[in-house]
A and B are shown apart, each in its own frame.
Chain A
């Protein structure tokens, strides 16, 4: 059974760096084809893909966030991380991590965490 759970600071101030952790089970990021993606959703709005990291440490980012994103992983502890620098109120959202696998479901996000709510406010 694949499970994922996001954790984060809950609230932070503008200009700070947002650090999110995705702790997962049921798969390994050292296995060929596996990956973790990050997606966010402002309250009442749509979904925005942020970044993916793959088993071979290949990384993809949404260029709309203009180099503010850094994705990384800790394979031995089954965790993936996302950092967003210089946050502002527009980064207030629920942040999801999800499993991706190129050999399962065409490589799209097939298992999602429950989401971590992040509020940016002064």
Chain B
């Protein structure tokens, strides 16, 4: 199984600041066939279901604000949230769908000061 190591466990920032969440996979998620990285990011607000933010490591899902930016390739990936808003209070998860079983990172809790 591919192990997804996500960091940090939690972070607290003020509105307007930028945050970076990291995800490292135990194997490369880069497909040699299409040169795509099979890494997605989800946001889960309190009491809600997860919401897809990013897929293919850097492609924003329709309707997701452009302050959510995914980057990285191979085994190292980053979700950057610029100009954090109060509404961004949530848990964030990475997911690898390169191979079965699909595996999630352990999550990052974002708190707003």
Contact = CB atoms under 8 A, between A and B. Distances in A.
Report if A and B associate in a common complex: yes
A108 B107 contact: no
Interface string A34-76: 0001010000001111001000000011111000000000000
Contacts of A52: 102
Given A106-B56, A108-B52, A110-B61, A63 B101 contact: yes
Interface of A (DSSP majority class): mixed
A24 to B, nearest CB: 14
B97 A107 contact: yes
Interface of B (DSSP majority class): loop
Interface residues of A, number: 23
A61 B102 CA distance: 9
Interface string B36-50: 101010100000011
Given A49-B104, A64-B101, A106-B59, 20 more contacts: A46-B93, A47-B50, A47-B93, A49-B95, A49-B101, A60-B101, A64-B1, A96-B50, A105-B55, A105-B59, A106-B36, A106-B38, A106-B55, A108-B52, A108-B55, A109-B50, A110-B55, A112-B49, A112-B51, A114-B49
